[in-house]
Structure 1
Amino acid sequence: MSDGKFEKADVQSIKQISSIWLVPLIAVGIGIWMLVQFATSKGPEVTLYLNTAEGLEVGKTEVKALNVRVGVISDVRLNDDYSAIIATAQIDKDAARMLREDTLFWVVKPRIGKEGVSGLETLLSGAYVQLQPGVAKEEKYEFDVLEVPPVAPPDAKGLRLVLYHKEAGKLGVGDPVLYEGFTVGRVEKVTFDPEAKKANYQLFIFEPYDSLIRKKTRFWLTSGVDLKMSAEGFSMQIGSIESLITGGVSFRVPRGNEPGELITKDFSRFRLYNNLKQVRERFFDEYLEYVMLFDESVRGLNPGAPVEYRGIRIGTVRKVPLELPSDRDGFSNRQIPVLVRIELGRIYGEVEEEALPRLKESLEKEFRLGLRASLKTGSLLTGALLVDTEVYPEEPMPELRQYRKYDIFPTKAGGFAQIQKQLTAILTKIEKLPVEDTISSLNKSLNASQRSLLAAERTANELTKILAQRETRALPGDIRQTLQQIQDTLKGFSPDAEPYRNLEQALGRFEQVMLELQPVLRQLNEKPNSLIFTGEKPKDPIPVKGAQ
């Protein structure tokens, strides 16, 4: 501008980005990378159905497998009808392979029950969901959470069986399965079939005890203490300590029976019996039914009482009495019908149904030979009766007939009834004795004897006087000796003589006995069994209010 001219500047626009913008760009890149990593590493979501949400917290309650964290509870909500809890668990990607059709879930928390104490470690750490991996091929993402831990994992070695019973509540999950008192398995599941109206109890028998399960194996309920009082006496059986507390189920092949083939198929079905006695009875399904007609009292004879032959059980009493007196008969029929079963398996072993007619003919032949049934006392402690059979060759040939639709088994009065019958006959004869006439005749005989003795005494006195006279002394010695002997003989019948006193005492005692016997005879006439049973005990005195 020194020469007075202005120079024109050359202006150019320059575009430039600040390096500060690299920071957010890098942050966005890292976020995108983390999002991709999260999306690719995220595992599947699992839906769990529970009865209660006790112990579950969103974001805190972990899902564990073999004590390793494999997921977390991400959501807990009620279902649409508020009947259950739906929990969502986020499972790690590495644990996704564990989710199979047979995978099991349950909540681990402190438990105190008949199966023991468990989950104590969660008192401080809190409850968690336990995952038991499955081995099935099909995948699954919805599960029902078990209320109690499973007895055995799906891949455990052993045998699963199903027992059925008409009543529920006989067994609980975790109850022991016993063989000769040793625990060889557990009850795994309890369900009820509404169509069949039967309860199903699933058992798991651990290996190698599954080899004990045979076709003829029978299962029955085991209680801690089995107390029984029957015609067979008093018996008590005590199981293991665990069965004493919780109960359980026992099994074995009944003794004396073929075990059959080995059971290897899972979920084979067996019947569950109430007790071992019922198991034994079921092996005698082939039987012949008879009616026994008894004249004596059947008090103490109960259904289930044994029918024995010389101490060996051959049958069972089924119904006492078979039926009550009808309006037509009333109580005029003195015989009481009792239905019994002659269980042929107890006599001949295994019996086929086709052999029943032949065995029935054989039994009727025994009737003709004198086979009879009678009542006997089975237990003096309980007063229970049993039916005893014996052969009495002297018995007359019976008439084989029927009572209603059943054949009649011939009977004979039992031992007690026979004694009572004999006592009644004896007392009847005693009652017919002319006791009053006998006592009157004895009194007359005693009076006559007394008069005779007085006459003899007078004669002896006269003889004494005669012998004392002078003329008698002049008689020959033989005559005097004869008179002296007569005098001595007559003195033996005087009131002071020993024979007279003995005879008088004997007649007096006999008269006293006959007088005392009269009330006894009256008592026996009114109550013939009073010789065996004492009279009724006097009633306790009842205090009354005294006079004012």
Structure 2
Amino acid sequence: MTGNSTQTEANIKKQNQISAIWILPLVALVIALWMLFQFINNKGPEITIIMPTAEGINIGKTEIKSLNVKVGMVTDITLSETYDYIKIKAQMNKNTDRMLNDTTQFWVVKPRVGSAGISGLETILSGAYIQIQPGESTTSKLNFTALELPPITPLSSKGIRVLLSHDQAGKLHIGDPVSYQGFTVGRVEKTSFDLAEKKALYQLFIFEPYDGLLLSGSQFWLTSGIDVKLNADGFNVQVDSLQSLLSGGVTFGLPAGEDVGQPFDDELVKLPLFDNYEQVKEGLYKQYVKFIMEFDESIRGLTAGAPVEYRGIRIGTVLEAPYDVAFSENNASSNKIQILVKLELGRLFDKGSNISLNTFQQAFKQHFKNGLKGKLETGNLLTGALFVDTEFDAPEPNFKMTEVGKYNVFPTKKGEFAMVQQQLSSLFNKVNDLPLNDAVESMARSMNSLDKALVSANTTIKNLNGLVSEEATQNLPADIQTSLKQLQKTLDGFSPNSVMYNDLEQTMKKFEQVMSELQPVLKQINDKPNSLIFGTDTVQDPIPAKRVN
């Protein structure tokens, strides 16, 4: 230090106030605590959803919605221990506890095309989301299994559910329409298979107020949209609605002649499912008597379901054709083919009649004595389909009923077609027995005689030609010669040097001149037909142009 320099000292004072710089961290801390409080306060329960796949699901992006309002967010996706399904963790919003119970349903909303229509198109741009449908139960639940498909009917929908059974699966699919007289009144909700009864089950839901159309006498049958039948009854085509034509479906109603009945009180009505309306009508005839019919002719064209008729009126149905073939173990002593038929009580008597099956069967025994017999007839010449017809033949007072197993035998006779075949066979046999060889030899002898006659006729013609060429024959009478001269004179008037020929030539030349003058007019009319009325367009004079070398 030099002598001119001065030494300065810092004065240190103790500050009694907090610096203003600490205000910002304190404010930030308060905001963070407030946000944490809001997050915890608005945080709802955490749920687990089981899904077959995580397609379209993203952590922190996929939302859970109810009526298009966000109520939760996916927070975690894990694979199960057995790699069979996906576990999804989702954080629900505040006050969503009442939405979570044992009847709540979840499913993924994404673009779908099905029999019920096209849905989920809004997710093409926004992405898939999980839809929640709250249940009405009071039992809380936090673990759920998502539906593979959206439910056809909401849980709050009012109506009635019907469970149909059929021997085959695949007849209906989820979303197929349920119609009544062509109008859609419900949907197929669920399909399953009963292992105990070995039958397919189809659960339907009929919406309110259409559930009042379902009565105790109602029956359900399939609708394929178009039904084409070509059988012994003829050619029949039925066309349903366009939706049924594309996807099929099921319809219901009261069959003709069935009682109206009462509405169902059960929550889940169980009914059979028929393939078509014809099966429904067949199911109405629940009282019948079975018979065996035996034929010694071909039954090609006769199938199960073919009608049994009496004078065009259906009285029964063929059940099995054949029931037992000829030369089988049970039919070894006969060469006849057996079929099983049933005669239905409801087709012959009113539903209100009190006739029992025993009385019905005894009546047929008396008809057999009076000559009632069955025969095969052709129902359709195009397909060759057969049916069983019955008619009365000669009475058989000593008729005795025979049995095959547990069934009585219905007497039969040959059908008209078989009789025609037999008559044709007999005719051909008679033709074969004719002495055709002798007839052919006699015809050959006649042909030889005819050849000789033709040779003689040829000789006669030659002699006649010689006679005509003689000079005496050629000297015709004078009158004929005069007539020929006059004819020659007349023909000379039409020669090229005659006056008539010259006049005709001049006329033709004038006609040709007129036609040549008319050709421009005809061309103009052909190019513009209205030119005779509106005139022709004025043709502008050509403008000279400079020649281009």
- The answer, yes or no, to whether TM exceeds 0.5 is yes
- For 1:326-365, what aligned pairs fall within 5 Å after superposition? 326=327, 333-350=334-351, 355-365=356-366
CA distance in 1, matches of 2:433, 2:276: 58
User: C-alpha displacement at 1:196, in angstroms?
Assistant: 3.9
Conserved? CA contact 1:63–1:130, under 8 Å: yes
Q: Aligned pair in 2 of structure 1 residues 339, 151: CA closer, same or farther (>3 Å)? A: same
2:108 alignment counterpart? 107
CA distance in 2, matches of 1:116, 1:329: 56
- For 1:498-513, what aligned pairs fall within 5 Å after superposition? none
CA distance in 2, matches of 1:403, 1:88: 71
- For 1:72-221, what aligned pairs fall within 5 Å after superposition? 72-221=73-222
1:41 alignment counterpart? 42
User: C-alpha displacement at 1:166, in angstroms?
Assistant: 3.3
CA distance in 2, matches of 1:351, 1:292: 30
For residues 494-523 of structure 1, give each alpha carbon's deviation from its aligned partner in whole angstroms, at most 9, with x where no partner exists.
xxxxxxxxxxxxxxxxxxxxxxxxxxxxxx
Q: Aligned pair in 2 of structure 1 residues 422, 131: CA closer, same or farther (>3 Å)? A: same
Q: Aligned pair in 2 of structure 1 residues 352, 94: CA closer, same or farther (>3 Å)? A: farther
1:416 alignment counterpart? 417
Conserved? CA contact 1:64–1:131, under 8 Å: yes
What SS is found at the alignment partner of 1:322? Answer: strand
2:18 alignment counterpart? 18
CA distance in 2, matches of 1:336, 1:123: 66
Conserved? CA contact 1:345–1:351, under 8 Å: no
CA distance in 2, matches of 1:86, 1:174: 28
Q: Aligned pair in 2 of structure 1 residues 224, 85: CA closer, same or farther (>3 Å)? A: same
CA distance in 2, matches of 1:328, 1:115: 54
2:384 alignment counterpart? 383
What SS is found at the alignment partner of 1:268? Answer: strand
CA distance in 1, matches of 2:296, 2:396: 17
CA distance in 2, matches of 1:101, 1:373: 64
CA distance in 2, matches of 1:149, 1:423: 68
Q: Aligned pair in 2 of structure 1 residues 329, 107: CA closer, same or farther (>3 Å)? A: closer
Q: Aligned pair in 2 of structure 1 residues 249, 76: CA closer, same or farther (>3 Å)? A: same
CA distance in 2, matches of 1:221, 1:376: 31
Worse-matched range after superposition: 391-400 or 65-74:
391-400
Worse-matched range after superposition: 355-364 or 93-102:
93-102
For residues 143-185 of structure 1, give each alpha carbon's deviation from its aligned partner in whole angstroms, at most 9, with x where no partner exists.
2212222111111121122222333322111110111221110
What SS is found at the alignment partner of 1:345? Answer: helix
Q: Aligned pair in 2 of structure 1 residues 50, 330: CA closer, same or farther (>3 Å)? A: closer
Q: Aligned pair in 2 of structure 1 residues 30, 139: CA closer, same or farther (>3 Å)? A: same
CA distance in 1, matches of 2:37, 2:437: 129
Worse-matched range after superposition: 387-396 or 42-51:
387-396
Conserved? CA contact 2:179–2:251, under 8 Å: yes
CA distance in 2, matches of 1:196, 1:335: 37
2:234 alignment counterpart? 233
Conserved? CA contact 2:185–2:206, under 8 Å: yes
Q: Aligned pair in 2 of structure 1 residues 151, 285: CA closer, same or farther (>3 Å)? A: same
For residues 105-156 of structure 1, give each alpha carbon's deviation from its aligned partner in whole angstroms, at most 9, with x where no partner exists.
2111112233322211111111111122222222222222122221111111
CA distance in 2, matches of 1:358, 1:174: 49
- Aligned amino acid, residue 376 of structure 2: L
User: C-alpha displacement at 1:262, in angstroms?
Assistant: 0.6
Q: Aligned pair in 2 of structure 1 residues 38, 190: CA closer, same or farther (>3 Å)? A: same
CA distance in 1, matches of 2:396, 2:436: 37
What SS is found at the alignment partner of 2:281? Answer: helix
CA distance in 2, matches of 1:431, 1:14: 149
For residues 23-42 of structure 1, give each alpha carbon's deviation from its aligned partner in whole angstroms, at most 9, with x where no partner exists.
65565455444433322221
CA distance in 2, matches of 1:306, 1:57: 63
- Aligned amino acid, residue 356 of structure 1: L
For residues 4-30 of structure 1, give each alpha carbon's deviation from its aligned partner in whole angstroms, at most 9, with x where no partner exists.
xxxxxxxxx999573566665565455
- Aligned amino acid, residue 248 of structure 1: G
- Aligned amino acid, residue 271 of structure 1: P
2:527 alignment counterpart? none
Q: Aligned pair in 2 of structure 1 residues 162, 436: CA closer, same or farther (>3 Å)? A: closer
Conserved? CA contact 1:286–1:351, under 8 Å: no
- Aligned amino acid, residue 18 of structure 1: I
User: C-alpha displacement at 1:191, in angstroms?
Assistant: 2.5
CA distance in 2, matches of 1:437, 1:34: 125
CA distance in 1, matches of 2:131, 2:370: 75
Q: Aligned pair in 2 of structure 1 residues 310, 139: CA closer, same or farther (>3 Å)? A: same
For residues 332-391 of structure 1, give each alpha carbon's deviation from its aligned partner in whole angstroms, at most 9, with x where no partner exists.
734322211112222224489992112111111111222111111111111111101122
Conserved? CA contact 1:300–1:383, under 8 Å: yes
- Aligned amino acid, residue 156 of structure 1: S
Structure 1 runs of 4+ off > 6 angstroms?
Answer: 327-332, 351-354, 425-438
Matched, 1:66 2:67: yes
- For 1:261-276, what aligned pairs fall within 5 Å after superposition? 261-276=262-277
What SS is found at the alignment partner of 2:38? Answer: helix
2:248 alignment counterpart? 247
Conserved? CA contact 2:62–2:128, under 8 Å: yes
Conserved? CA contact 2:192–2:200, under 8 Å: yes
Unaligned runs of 5+ in 1: 1-12, 439-548
What SS is found at the alignment partner of 1:70? Answer: strand
- Aligned amino acid, residue 206 of structure 2: I
User: C-alpha displacement at 1:247, in angstroms?
Assistant: 1.0
- Aligned amino acid, residue 271 of structure 2: F
For residues 437-459 of structure 1, give each alpha carbon's deviation from its aligned partner in whole angstroms, at most 9, with x where no partner exists.
99xxxxxxxxxxxxxxxxxxxxx
- Aligned amino acid, residue 192 of structure 1: F
1:54 alignment counterpart? 55
User: C-alpha displacement at 1:415, in angstroms?
Assistant: 1.8
CA distance in 2, matches of 1:289, 1:331: 22
2:287 alignment counterpart? 286
User: C-alpha displacement at 1:423, in angstroms?
Assistant: 5.5
Report sequence identity in percent.
Answer: 48
CA distance in 2, matches of 1:353, 1:168: 39
Q: Aligned pair in 2 of structure 1 residues 413, 192: CA closer, same or farther (>3 Å)? A: closer
CA distance in 1, matches of 2:409, 2:331: 21
CA distance in 1, matches of 2:125, 2:45: 29
Conserved? CA contact 2:292–2:338, under 8 Å: yes
Conserved? CA contact 1:63–1:69, under 8 Å: yes
Worse-matched range after superposition: 273-282 or 171-180:
273-282
2:446 alignment counterpart? none
CA distance in 1, matches of 2:380, 2:330: 33
Conserved? CA contact 2:187–2:204, under 8 Å: yes
For residues 201-226 of structure 1, give each alpha carbon's deviation from its aligned partner in whole angstroms, at most 9, with x where no partner exists.
22111111101111222112221322
Give the TM-score normalised by the residue count of structure 2. 0.71
Conserved? CA contact 2:369–2:395, under 8 Å: no
- Aligned amino acid, residue 110 of structure 1: P
CA distance in 2, matches of 1:222, 1:329: 41
- Aligned amino acid, residue 319 of structure 2: R
What SS is found at the alignment partner of 1:82? Answer: coil
User: C-alpha displacement at 1:200, in angstroms?
Assistant: 2.3
- Aligned amino acid, residue 135 of structure 1: E
- For 1:508-547, what aligned pairs fall within 5 Å after superposition? none
Conserved? CA contact 2:323–2:338, under 8 Å: yes
Count the aligned residue pairs.
Answer: 427
- Aligned amino acid, residue 116 of structure 2: E
- For 1:328-477, what aligned pairs fall within 5 Å after superposition? 333-350=334-351, 355-392=356-393, 394=395, 397-422=398-423
Unaligned runs of 5+ in 2: 1-12, 440-549
CA distance in 1, matches of 2:43, 2:296: 88
Q: Aligned pair in 2 of structure 1 residues 52, 331: CA closer, same or farther (>3 Å)? A: same
